[in-house]
Amino acid sequence: MPELPEVETIRRHLAPRVEGRVLHRLEILDARWTAPEDPRAVEDQLAGRLIERLGRRGKYLVATFDGDAHLLMHLRMTGTLLYDPPLGNGPDAAPAHGRVRFTLDEGRRLVFIDPRRFGTGRLLHGDRQLEQYLAVRLGLDPLGPAFTAAALKAMARGRVAPVKAFLLDQRRIAGVGNIYADEALFRARIHPLRPAGRLSLGQWRDLRDAVVEALEAGLAAGGATIDDYRTPEGVQGSFQNEFLVHTRAGEACPECGRAIVKLRAAGRGTYVCERCQPRPRAPRRPVVSTWGS
């Protein structure tokens, strides 16, 4: 699933090609993309408008049109946005799973490909509606100034859920997913099953820096391609070649050489070096008497 570095890579590639252009035609071929809103209504409201800006909030791409209309696109599991892909039936052709087509005024196309069809497009009007929509869905931007160890520690206070679940919760930190959570926890030498509320300020400092470093390394590599992610030119990212632990079960830890293990945390396959990231001590179990049972 594309995370912040993948979505931001797509944004950086597309922004110079779409900003300042008029959306000549919008074809939403799969009504599920805009559900419950009628796709024809979204097409009618956006066709002919100038694309002023392509931004990103968490894992959302936000296309802002003249008249203060915002189209929020989420790629979810398998969404990709391809710029002017070849059309037809070849292996690289777009229409097979094309759910949405944007035709720009100079004739170039942008195609939203999405084999599993979980991606979404949502039209919002005005900055206020946009901010209200995002406020309940997105927490701190990990590349922004408010992403501090103190803020994280305050948010985690009293939380007994594993720190990995905390990192994955978009309402707390916007943009971190399974890949970057594993990489950051390894860099910070924190076990993913540690209760978030038990981390010290020093550990939050390490983890905060590790999240930023992992995301920046991902950005520098053009994102990570494990399944479907591609840049708008159809090129794979290369960050998967630089993973320290993610997907590397059985391989040697780059720090200590012990085998990396895969376990389950926050319901997700999670990769850890249990020497560099020691397991939290199990809470002492109360002695249960079997008398009288």
Is 273 near Zn ion (CB under 5 A)?
yes
Hey, what are 258's tokens? 């012990």
169-198 binders of Zn ion (CB under 5 A): none
Q: E-strand spans in the chain?
A: 23-28, 51-57, 60-65, 69-74, 80-83, 98-104, 109-113, 120-125, 261-265, 268-272
Angstrom distance (rounded) from CA 54 to CA 11: 7
Determine contact, residues 29/94, Cβ cutoff 8 Å. no
Please identify, among the stretches 7-15, 23-31, 214-222, 250-258, the one whose residues bind Zn ion according to the rule CB under 5 A. 250-258
Q: Does 279 bind Zn ion (CB under 5 A)?
A: no
Q: Is 287 in the site for Zn ion (CB under 5 A)?
A: no
Tokens describing residue 120: 């979404």
State which residue, 143 or 261, has the beta carbon closest to Zn ion. Answer: 261
Q: Smallest gap, in angstroms, from Cβ of residue 161 to Zn ion?
A: 25
| Pairing assessment for the beta strands 60-65 and 51-57 based on DSSP bridges | antiparallel
HSE-CB for 26 with a 13 A CA cutoff: 23
The whole-angstrom separation of Cα 112 and Cα 219 is 21
| Closest-CA residue to 210 (of 230, 171, 182, 247) | 182
Contact status: 282 vs Zn ion (CB under 5 A): no
Q: Which of 21, 268, 274, 280 is catalytic?
A: 268
CB of 256 to Zn ion, least distance (A): 3
Kindly name the residue from 49, 56, 57, 59 that is annotated as catalytic: 59
Question: Which residue lies nearer to Zn ion by CB, 55 or 280?
Answer: 280
Q: Which one of 46-54, 62-70, 75-83, 270-278 is the stretch in contact with Zn ion (CB under 5 A)?
A: 270-278
Residue bearing tokens 């720090």:
255
Whether 268 is a known active-site residue: answer yes
**Does position 253 bind Zn ion by CB under 5 A?**
yes
Q: Is 216 a catalytic residue?
A: no
Which tokens sit at 184?
């950051």
Q: Quick one: which segment of 27-35, 104-112, 224-232, 273-281 binds Zn ion (CB under 5 A)?
A: 273-281
Q: How far is the CB of 284 from Zn ion (least distance, A)?
A: 27
Enumerate residues 31-70 that contact Zn ion by CB under 5 A: none
Among 256, 282, 287, 288, which residue interacts with Zn ion (rule: CB under 5 A)? 256
User: Is 59 one of the annotated active-site residues of the chain?
Assistant: yes
Name which position in 125, 275, 278, 279 contacts Zn ion (CB under 5 A).
275
Q: Binding of Zn ion at residue 276 (CB under 5 A)?
A: yes
**Residue 23 backbone phi and psi in degrees, to 5:** -80, 105
**Whether 51 contacts 24, CB under 8 Å:** no
Residues that bind Zn ion (CB under 5 A): 253, 255-256, 273, 275-276
